[in-house]
A and B are shown apart, each in its own frame.
Chain A
Amino acid sequence: MTAARKLLRRIAPQLITLVAVILLVSLYYPDFYKVVLVNDRLVGIPIDVLKRCAPVALLAIGMTLVIATRGIDLSVGTVMAICGAAAAWSIDQGYGLWGALAIAGAAGLVCGVWNGILVAVLGIQPIVATLILMVAGRGIAQLITNGTILTFDSDAFSYLGSGTLIGVPVPTVIWILTGIAVGLLVRRTALGLLIEAIGVNLRASTLAGINSKVLLIAVYVASGLCAAMAGIIATADIRGADANNAGLWLELDAILAVVIGGNSPLGGRFSIVASLLGALIIQTINTGILLAGFPSEFNLVIKAVLVIVILVLQSPRLMLLQDPVHLPFLRKRAAPTPPAEVRK
């Protein structure tokens, strides 16, 4: 009971923001809530939002873990392009659905291990370490697709992007299931706590016996795998791999989702649910701007204003939010391991 209430208190700002954005959009577009069943698939704006936010939501799951360790993964958009290209290439080569998934997943894994080794073993700042793959990765993706948009014809594979499961779009199912799986993995075990410990103080947690190197690599691998899933969905959706544009600037949206989710960019306490709500907020704004008939150029300015407002609210110097949830450092000092929090 208290755990549920704590969670609700944690995600309350994001929920309120989401509701406010939806209300605002529905003022301009009263049909917003209408969801109908057409040809065994649910159709409506809310469903559309839930489907379109899939890549950003998946990236945000991995990014939340990375940011919780005081890191950042700039390469996720590029990894999406690499994995999408790898998937399309394997379909093209006749490896079938499972072969394509395995190869794309392996590509994401390798990218994650690469970033993880640069950060954890070689000790390079995360922003720089992942910048290397961000710059070089698009070249690698283009190498795979040979510079063209690699199209393929596989109904089984494109089902992952445009199919439905009991009326619900498959991408939606994938990101929600992934969110639940990762959420359970980090919260039902001590993993989440250990990740937070690394983010708060890497040296202290290493001295306390946490295998921070392995954990850091694992976090970047998780981000790489999430990016691989996002890349597969994006590729399956358009039935083609576009090495230039797949996942372009999505890393920024993913970071934005995490920041809107109230996770401090300085590392420490994190919430995957809140990040996912952040992804929903971003997509609702994107869709809402289109529906309301505003020119889409407002989109970036609104995002910028959102970031600035959140930064002001979260600033450790201003401390406008006195809620200790947002001040992981102070909280850790007051109560080292609150048991209720571990169980969530």
Chain B
Amino acid sequence: MNVHALPLYATILIFLLAYAICIVQFPAMLSTRVIGNLLTDNAFLGIVAVGMTVVIISGGIDLSVGSVIAFSGVFIAVLLRDTGLHPAAVFALLLVVTTAFGAAMGGMIHVLAMPPFIVTLAGMFLARGAGYMLSIDSVPIDHPAYEAMQRAYYVMPGGGRLTLLGVVMLLSVGIGMIVLHRTRFGTNTYALGGGEATARLMGVAVGRTTMMVYAFSGFMAGLAGIAFSVYTSAGYPLATVGVELNAIAAVVIGGTLLAGGSGYMFGTLIGVLTMGLIQTYIVFDGSLSSWWTKIVIGALLLLFIMLQKGLLRLRVSA
């Protein structure tokens, strides 16, 4: 049995177990409506977590994504309000900007040889500040294309809605899986996470890979920003504060090793859904307060980190 995949199996098992407990208590949770909402409500988180997975597997961390999502929302809203551009053109422009932003951070991390944590912290301030400079207030988005996107859904058997956002999230995870597990870039990313010196000796272009990793994360943060703006129909510079932490938590719960070099994209999807499930359970229960979400997520984080530590020891001794 593949030791690397054990955290992934544990994640899937815990998710199924948690879902089973939910269903026993609230049979109504076994409906496509709940599943559809789970996908829609966590779409932006899932998309940004795809980028975060790649960053964490490369041995880094990206704290800027929450701010980039907020910036994206404001950028889209202001551009749609002040110019006659079509949303598609605005989206393309935004993705170029956020990808370049990520690439710049990756470049700085490589050139300055500084911890990714501190460089992306600067990026976090910069993106949030740039969002503020565009607008301090919440800017509503009122465009026919947005209404069309919000109305685009497929009714699953049972009445649940598989919305466009949910589909985009699932597609992102799919693309992330291909990028991570089936391309040379993905292999380089794993090598980089395993150890920079080793990766360099094996012939990995460390600088270029680092830049691409953060550019990918920037692209995904931009895409998540688009999803979030469709979800809320507005751009607000104070939105999505702390989403980077949720994304990191989802990746860790998904069984990815925070030290880098090991993990699966599919696990991240399960991690996002597990976090969404906790929230749904609290909504269904009605008597539990929302702060239990945070405590449970913290406990899950601890559980998975301990599990990984144990597995690491197992692997070393084996």
A-side residues, CB < 8 A to B, are 72, 122-125, 127-129, 131-140, 142-143, 147, 243, 249, 252, 255-256, 259, 265-266, 295, 297-305, 307-308, 311-312, 314-318
Whole-angstrom distance from the CB of B79 to the nearest CB of chain A?
A: 18
CB distance from A181 to the nearest CB of B (A): 28
Q: Is B292 an interface residue (CB 8 A)?
A: yes
Within 8 Å by CB of A147, from B112, B117, B245, B291, lies: B291
Interface residues in chain B, defined as those with a beta carbon under 8 Å from any beta carbon in chain A: 61, 108, 111-115, 117-119, 121-126, 128-130, 132-133, 136, 237, 241, 245, 248-249, 252, 258-259, 289, 291-295, 297-299, 301-302, 305-306, 309
A84 to chain B, nearest CB (A): 15
Q: Using known A-B contacts A127-B117, A304-B129, determine if residue A135 contacts B123 with beta carbons closer than 8 Å.
A: no
Contact between A300 and B121 (Cβ–Cβ < 8 Å)?
no
Contacting residue for B118 out of A131, A259, A299, CB 8 A = A259
Q: In the bound complex, do residue B289 and residue A297 qualify as a contact, i.e. CB atoms below 8 Å apart? A: no
Tell me if A315 and B112 are in contact (CB < 8 A). yes
Instruction: List, in ascending order, chain B residues with CB within 8 A of A303's CB.
Output: 125, 129
29 A-B pairs with CB atoms under 8 Å apart are A122-B309, A128-B258, A129-B305, A131-B245, A132-B305, A135-B294, A136-B301, A139-B291, A139-B292, A140-B295, A143-B291, A143-B295, A147-B291, A265-B115, A265-B117, A266-B115, A295-B132, A295-B136, A300-B132, A303-B125, A305-B126, A307-B118, A307-B122, A308-B108, A311-B112, A311-B119, A311-B122, A315-B114, A316-B113
By the criterion CB–CB under 8 Å, are B111 and A317 in contact? yes
Q: Tell me whether B122 and A297 are in contact (CB under 8 A).
A: no
Given contacts A128-B305, A307-B118, contact A300 B128 (CB under 8 A): yes
Q: Which of B115, B259, B292 has most A Cβ within 10 Å?
A: B115
| Dominant SS among interface residues on chain B | helix
Known contacts A307-B122, A317-B112; A298 and B295 CB within 8 A of each other: no
Q: Give A142 to B133 CA distance when docked, in angstroms.
A: 33
Of all chain A residues, the one with the shortest Cβ separation from B126 is: A304
Give the one of A133, A140, A295, A304 with max B CB within 10 A.
A304
Chain A residue nearest to B298 in the complex (CB): A136
CB pair B289–A300 under 8 Å, yes or no, is: no
CA distance A305 to B123 in the complex (A): 9
Across the interface, which residues of A come within 8 angstroms of B111, CB to CB?
Answer: 315, 317-318
Q: How far is the CA of A308 from the CA of B105 in the complex (A)?
A: 10
Question: Which of A72, A134, A297, A311 is in CB contact (< 8 Å) with B245?
Answer: A134
| B129 partner, pick from A122, A123, A297, beta carbons under 8 A | A297
Known contacts A72-B117, A127-B61, A139-B291; is-contact A297 B133 (Cβ 8 Å): yes
B118 touching A311, Cβ below 8 Å: yes
Taking a contact as CB atoms under 8 Å apart, the answer to whether B112 and A312 are in contact is: yes
The minimal Cβ–Cβ distance linking B134 to chain A, given in whole angstroms, is: 9
From B113, B123, B289, B297, give the contact of A317 (CB < 8 A).
Answer: B113
CB pair A300–B298 under 8 Å, yes or no, is no
Closest 10 CB pairs of A and B: A136-B298, A297-B132, A300-B129, A139-B294, A301-B129, A304-B125, A142-B291, A304-B126, A139-B295, A307-B122
B135 (CB) vs chain A CBs: closest residue? A297
Interface centre among B121, B123, B293 (most CB of A within 10 A): B121
Chain A positions within 8 Å of B115 at CB level? 265-266
Q: Are B126 and A311 in contact (CB under 8 A)?
A: no
Specify the chain A residue showing the minimal Cβ separation from B118: A265
Q: How far is the CB of B117 from chain A (nearest CB, A)?
A: 6
Additional 19 contacts, C-beta under 8 A, given A129-B305, A301-B129, A312-B112 = A131-B249, A138-B294, A143-B291, A143-B295, A249-B241, A252-B121, A255-B118, A256-B121, A297-B133, A298-B133, A300-B125, A300-B126, A300-B132, A307-B121, A307-B125, A315-B112, A316-B113, A317-B111, A318-B112
Docked pose: A128 CA to B60 CA in angstroms: 12
Residue of B nearest to A318 (CB): B112
Assembly CA distance A265 to B256 (angstroms): 25
Closest to B64 in A: A304
- Rounded to whole Å, the gap between the CB of A312 and the closest CB of chain B is 6
Q: Bound state CA distance, A147 and B113, in angstroms?
A: 43
Q: Is the CB of A301 within 8 A of B130?
A: yes
Known: A122-B309, A123-B309. Contact between A132 and B258, CB under 8 A?
no
Expressed in whole angstroms, the Cα–Cα distance for A131 and B297 within the complex equals 11
Q: Shortest beta-carbon distance, A96 to chain B, in Å?
A: 28
Query: In the complex, what residues of B have CB within 8 A of residue A72's CB?
Result: 117
Q: Are A135 and B125 in contact (CB under 8 A)?
A: no
